[in-house]
Structure 1
């Protein structure tokens, strides 16, 4: 059942790869995905491009400065009961970055680590799982109404 207060929100998830082709994931803290592993990212602010959001959110969360992030996919996450809103997530891929990895927001993320795509930690945040599926299957779009699909 749809909540009358629910809104459609737009966020970004940033797939940052290191030289070993491992992807950066953080273990989330708080009411939204507590204990789940997720990409750096967050809500798009009014007037921001997706690239600008990716650069800002990644810096705020990890201290890394992204170089040339590229939009690779998007998803429609219809878990209104769980997340209170419908989220459209834009995924960006980055292989070039500068700076030292620091957990800048320890109240929102327990830790950041690099993971092999063939050996990812669990549980994955729903939007992160959908982004990884798009990347691995060379899909530009994904949607899901349940946590299982």
Structure 2
């Protein structure tokens, strides 16, 4: 995600942008056409899938967190609901069809450009033989018991898991 120092020209009229105090923050604006550049957060959806008390995780094949594990998820696309994105991301990464079982929580951190929306998911088709990653971003998939989790890629994964286990101690 770009920061303000990397943005130079107006995407509407190509005039050099200037920094101004607008709406209680420093923002880039175009004096020619009035465009204001809002550096908005990215929305990420995460799905926690359990089977027989074990969590489905994917080993990341890209940075950040390459070589570490995480829940299935990714960015929400424009014109897509977060629920649609959750189903799409699981299908893209695992080729599994799931049903969303409920919201775990919404997570954000000061200084981070991401808002994370976490759901519980249930596998609809119990045939999980040949469970293999479907995208380059994930090198392998596996189910892990809560007490044998591998190194997780993001602090938010631990927060999501903590909140899920607090609400559902039998998970």
TM range (shorter): 0.7 to 0.9
- Aligned to 1:77, which of 94, 98, 109? 109
Q: Establish whether residue 15 from structure 1 lines up as the match of residue 48 from structure 2.
A: yes
Which of 26, 33, 46 is the aligned partner of 2:58? 26
RMSD of aligned alpha carbons: 2.1
CA distance in 1, matches of 2:73, 2:67: 16
- Where does the alignment leave 5 or more consecutive residues of structure 2 unmatched? 7-38
1:129 maps onto 2:158 in alignment:
yes
Matched residue of 2:162: which SS? helix
Compare relative contact order (CA 8 Å, sep 6+) and give the higher one, 1 or 2: 1
Aligned runs of 1:136-147 on 2, under 5 Å? 136-138=165-167
Q: State how far apart, in whole Å, the 2-side matches of 1:15 and 1:66 are.
A: 11
User: Is 2:135 the partner of 1:102?
Assistant: no
Larger radius of gyration: 2
Instruction: Provide the TM-score with structure 1 as the length reference.
Output: 0.77
CA distance in 1, matches of 2:70, 2:76: 17
For residues 42-94 of structure 1, the C-alpha deviation after alignment (integer angstroms, 9 at most, x for no partner) is 001122222111100100000000123422211103454xxxxx111000101
- Which stretch shifts more, 6-15 or 120-129? 120-129
**Matched residue, 1:145:** none
1:46 matches 2:71: no
Q: Deviations over 1:4-55 (max 9, x none)?
A: 266411011100011x111101110112221221111100112222211110
